[in-house]
Amino acid sequence: MDAFLLVEPYITGIISILGIFFIEAFIVASFKLYIKQFLSQRTYRIVITLISGLIMTLFSIYFMMMSQKEDYYLIFGNLRMIIILIPIIFLNRNISLVSVILCSVFRLFYYGMTLVSLGYIAIFTSFFLLVVVIQLIVKQNQLLTFIYSLISASIFWIWIYLTNFDGYHSYYFFAVFSDYLNFVILSIIAYVSASYLYHLNNLLFQTMEESLTDELTKLRNLKDFNAKMNEGFFKAREKKEAFSLIIFDIDYFKAINDTYGHLAGDIVLKNLAKTIQEIDELKKVDVFRVGGEEFTIILSKKNGTETVGIAEKLRKKVELTNFYYENQLIHVTVSVGVTSLVKGLRSEITLNGFMELADEALYHSKHNGRNKVFSSDVLTGEFK
């Protein structure tokens, strides 16, 4: 029983820190999967930083309260340092910055402007700045940041025990050593656990990314197109927003394969993908390869006139680009079809009907000489 009482705080502390990083990994994964697509990159970073910082703050406050209990002081006091250290290494230093600021404000309100409060605020702030400086010096290397931060953190234990500003730390070597060793052991457990979760998270999203990416061109694939088209179309139709679809394919692609070989055809497809992504309006837009030589582009909040302009720019860019295979020049052109929902106008057209209009515009381009752009009016079905 005595042995259990001795190790119980360690068990509680370890379970707590593992729980924190599991929750954090779950939230980051959920946001990437379900929320990120609706936000700009900048907004997403701000939101995930604030939410993660708030989570770390809540746990830090919990550790602060638990450290007031007898036999829990060392464990939970050290865990408060660890949840500053680990997010800096694996996630974003701003998460720890948010946590340090909010915890400092909470401590001042809860305990008052006391010497002890100011002392701990100074320690946690200094530790945060120390880890950030180390991270910059070692150029973001995770392991080196961790090792040097552990070593450098010893100065805080020496200072705490020398000053005894909180009345709990009478200085003698064994006390300093055992307290610091406790921090090191818990930090190693936290680092290994966070590293494992970080690796699993990256592996998960790498696998997901690969499942939605065309292997040859590295563009998005048909699966991703269907998901985003379904979501974007119904959202735009419901909100009466502008929404456009471009469908295009390579003219006489079979002839290219027959004349130069299938390897030449593959090189043309890869170079075409790079060429499309050089167009300014398409640099931050997903382009999809949905068939052998067929591609699509979804343009949210773009009206028909704007989309036709982009499609024409795409057509000209491809026409003026030189494609080579084994020093042989291959002339490549594309035929393009466009259709758009009109902003402010309620449409009852179905998703399949909408896509068929774009497809019909593409075939109209092909039947009218190829290397052309035609749009199909969503109301009348007429070609322009």
| Catalytic position from the list 210, 231, 281, 293 | 293
Distance CA 106, CA 67 (A): 15
Q: Chain centroid to CA 108: how far?
A: 34
Alpha-helical (H) ranges within the chain are 2-30, 41-66, 73-90, 93-111, 115-137, 142-163, 173-211, 222-239, 253-260, 262-276, 304-320, 351-367
CA-based nearest residue to 276, from 336, 358, 362: 336
Q: Is 293 a catalytic residue?
A: yes
Distance CA 134, CA 152 (A): 9
- Tokens 């050290």, residue located: 78
Distance CA 188, CA 149 (A): 12
Alpha-helical (H) ranges within 36-114 are 41-66, 73-90, 93-111
Distance CA 124, CA 110 (A): 17
Distance CA 88, CA 26 (A): 18
Distance CA 282, CA 285 (A): 5
Q: Chain centroid to CA 78: how far?
A: 30
Catalytic residue annotation? 293
